[in-house]
């Protein structure tokens, strides 16, 4: 049998041919080549050992091949996750080799559909894929299916959108690849080989952990065992008891007056996991929309435009905290999920730098889904409306800046004049407010601020900014 590059019958290869065929028939209009491939496939031997063919394919296509493979494997995984149980058993061990052509054609189709309509066709496509995976057709059908559809798709492309170029140049497709490879890395976790060395911190400095889980270098004291700390712990224990009693009688609605007072004194460390979601009303949201989060996650994987930026920022979010220290570890994955899902849920905000810190803070105490709804409530609840801070143009930031200037002018005219004279812009407020002083003040203080911020709302931001000015007035 002739072993011309184009006729190898391994599924991966065929899959590859689709795109090549397309390119060709589009660019040169050469029908002959296409027909050749079709014929070869029809008479070809489908049981040719996949391994060797795969190797030749890889060596033949070099880098471009390896670039192309991960997304197919990835899509498979996604579908498995999306419809738990239904598709898992269907794919035999070297799964991506077998089903990749279908997934690929389908994902191309999804992509095309997305260009026209969102969400509806997406769900249909997902449904279709999972169905296909369940009824495992034999190899011949596979070949047939992928080829026919691949060619069909090519023709469609030709007639429908003559403007769009081949896969290689299509930015949307490239983006899909990039997105998939990023998500794939998180799926694989921290032990996969392809983590760049510089992305992980040195582990020998891993000596001092404070009570929040932040890592300190040797020599930096955390004061964990002084008398003061002991007293603090005893106090905290007694407060916890009081709080537990209080929570028991807290049925619904907002916090009582007494609770508000106590929140001002700080929520006990162990109870933030309960109190924060309730304060934000995230619990209710979660129960009302049970499957929402999983659905958003799925959608994010297919179409979110922000994953690249999110990935960049996860690499720079609280890397000195134990949970986020190891690249692609569990919590980093959760962070990606929360932010990606949110970029789908609130498309006006999408993802904005600064949100990763907030989401990470929630994740230190809560699980993924709770963190997601907390983030959402923080954005939209009338008390907090962080939404306005993060949407393009930052309308709320400007409003608050004006407001803050007025406050300063009225109550601290000396500071105000000094700042004006030195021509110091108010841009520092961005950093303060976007994360509600996270990263701007010591973490323990930031936590207390957040307790109050969650119960009182955004006026805290102004109050705290004013306070900082007052403290450093002289």
Partner 1 sequence: MHPVRKRSSIYQDVDFSYTVMILGDSCTGKTCLLIRYKDGAFLNNNFISTVGIDYRNKLINMGDKKVKLQIWDTAGQERFRSVATSYYRDADALLLVYDIANRQSFDNVRDWLSHIKEHGKEAVQVTLVGNKCDLPRVVQADEGRRLAEENGIPFMETSAKTGQNVDRAFLGLAERMIKMKYGFVPGGEMADTIAVNESKSINLSNCCPIT
Rule CB under 8 A: which residues touch partner 1?
A: 198, 200-202, 309, 312-313, 315-317, 319-320, 352-354, 356, 392-394, 422, 425, 427-428, 430-431, 434-435, 439, 474
Residue number with CB closer to partner 1 (96 or 345): 345
Q: Which is nearer to partner 1, 239 or 387 (CB)?
A: 387
CA-nearest of 470, 465, 474 to 402 is: 465
Q: In the complex with partner 1, which residue's Cβ is closer, 81 or 315? A: 315
Q: The tokens 């008398």 sit on which residue? A: 227
Q: What is the dihedral of CA 218, 441, 376, 453, to 10 degrees?
A: 130
Nearer to partner 1, 214 or 276 (CB): 214
Give the nearest distance from C-beta 157 to partner 1 in angstroms. Answer: 26
- Closest contact distance (angstroms) between CB of 353 and partner 1 is 5
Least distance between partner 1 and beta carbon 356 (Å): 7
How many residues are there in the chain?
A: 474
Phi-psi domain of 192 (left: phi exceeds 0; alpha: psi -120 through 50; beta: other): beta
The Cα 1–Cα 4 span in angstroms is 9
CB 300 within 8 A of CB 335: no
Alpha-carbon gap, residue 148 to 458, rounded angstroms: 58
Measure the CA–CA gap between 340 and 336, rounded to whole angstroms. Answer: 6
Least separation in angstroms between residue 26's CB and partner 1 is 25
The closest alpha carbon to 325, from 338, 334, 315, 335, belongs to 315
Nearer to partner 1, 159 or 474 (CB): 474
**C-alpha–C-alpha distance, residues 410 and 388, integer Å:** 25
CB-based burial, 322-339: b 16+ in 10 Å, e otherwise = bbbbbbbbebbbbbbbbb
CA–CA separation, 398 and 31 (whole Å): 60
The nearest distance, CB 197 to partner 1, in angstroms, is 10
Nearer to partner 1, 39 or 312 (CB): 312
> Judged by CB, which is closer to partner 1: 85, or 198?
198
Classify 461 as helix, strand or coil: helix
Q: Taking the complex as a whole, how short is the minimal distance between the CB of residue 370 and partner 1, in angstroms? A: 24
Residue 312 Cβ, how far from partner 1 at the closest point, in Å? 4
| Smallest separation, CB 360 to partner 1 (Å) | 11
Residue closer to partner 1 (CB basis): 6 or 397: 397
């Amino acid at each position: 049998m002739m072993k011309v590059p184009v006729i190898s019958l391994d599924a991966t290869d065929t899959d590859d041919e689709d795109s090549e065929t397309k390119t060709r028939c589009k660019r040169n209009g050469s029908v002959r080549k296409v027909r050749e491939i079709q014929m070869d496939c029809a008479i070809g031997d489908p049981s040719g050992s996949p391994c060797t063919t795969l190797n030749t394919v890889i060596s033949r296509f070099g880098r471009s091949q390896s670039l192309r493979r991960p997304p197919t494997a990835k899509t498979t995984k996604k579908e498995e996750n999306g419809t738990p149980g239904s598709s898992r058993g269907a794919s035999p061990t070297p799964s991506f080799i077998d089903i990749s052509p279908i997934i690929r054609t389908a994902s191309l189709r999804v992509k095309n559909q997305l260009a026209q309509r969102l969400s509806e066709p997406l769900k249909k496509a997902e449904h279709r894929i999972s169905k296909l995976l369940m009824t495992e057709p034999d190899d011949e059908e596979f070949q047939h299916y992928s080829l026919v559809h691949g060619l069909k798709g090519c023709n469609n492309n030709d007639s429908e959108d003559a403007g769009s170029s081949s896969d290689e140049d299509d930015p949307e497709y490239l983006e899909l690849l990039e997105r998939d490879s990023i998500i794939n890395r998180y799926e694989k976790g921290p032990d996969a080989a392809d983590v760049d060395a510089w992305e992980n911190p040195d582990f020998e400095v891993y000596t001092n952990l404070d009570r929040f889980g932040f890592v300190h270098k040797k020599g930096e004291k955390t004061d964990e065992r002084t008398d003061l700390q002991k007293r603090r712990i005893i106090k905290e224990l007694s407060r916890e008891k009081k709080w537990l009693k209080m929570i028991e009688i807290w049925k619904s609605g907002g916090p009582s007056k007494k609770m508000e007072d106590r929140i001002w004194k700080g929520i006990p460390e162990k109870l933030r996991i309960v109190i924060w979601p309730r304060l934000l009303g995230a619990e209710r949201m979660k129960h009302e929309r049970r499957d929402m989060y999983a659905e958003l996650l799925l959608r994010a994987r297919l179409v979110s435009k922000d994953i690249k930026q999110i990935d960049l920022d996860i690499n720079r979010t609280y890397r000195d905290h134990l949970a986020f220290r190891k690249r692609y570890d569990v919590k980093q994955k959760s962070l990606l999920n929360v932010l990606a899902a949110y970029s789908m849920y609130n498309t006006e905000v999408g993802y904005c730098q600064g949100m990763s810190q907030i989401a990470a803070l929630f994740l230190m105490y809560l699980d993924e889904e709770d963190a997601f709804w907390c983030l959402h409530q923080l954005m939209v609840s009338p008390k907090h409306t962080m939404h306005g801070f993060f949407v393009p143009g930052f309308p709320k930031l400007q409003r608050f800046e004006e407001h803050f200037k007025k406050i300063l002018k009225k109550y601290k005219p000396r500071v105000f004049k000094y700042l004006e004279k030195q021509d110091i812009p108010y841009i520092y407020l961005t950093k303060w407010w976007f994360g509600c002083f996270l990263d701007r003040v010591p973490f323990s203080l930031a936590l207390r601020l957040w307790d109050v911020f969650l119960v009182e709302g955004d006026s805290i931001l102004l109050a705290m900014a004013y306070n900082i000015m007052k403290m450093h007035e002289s």
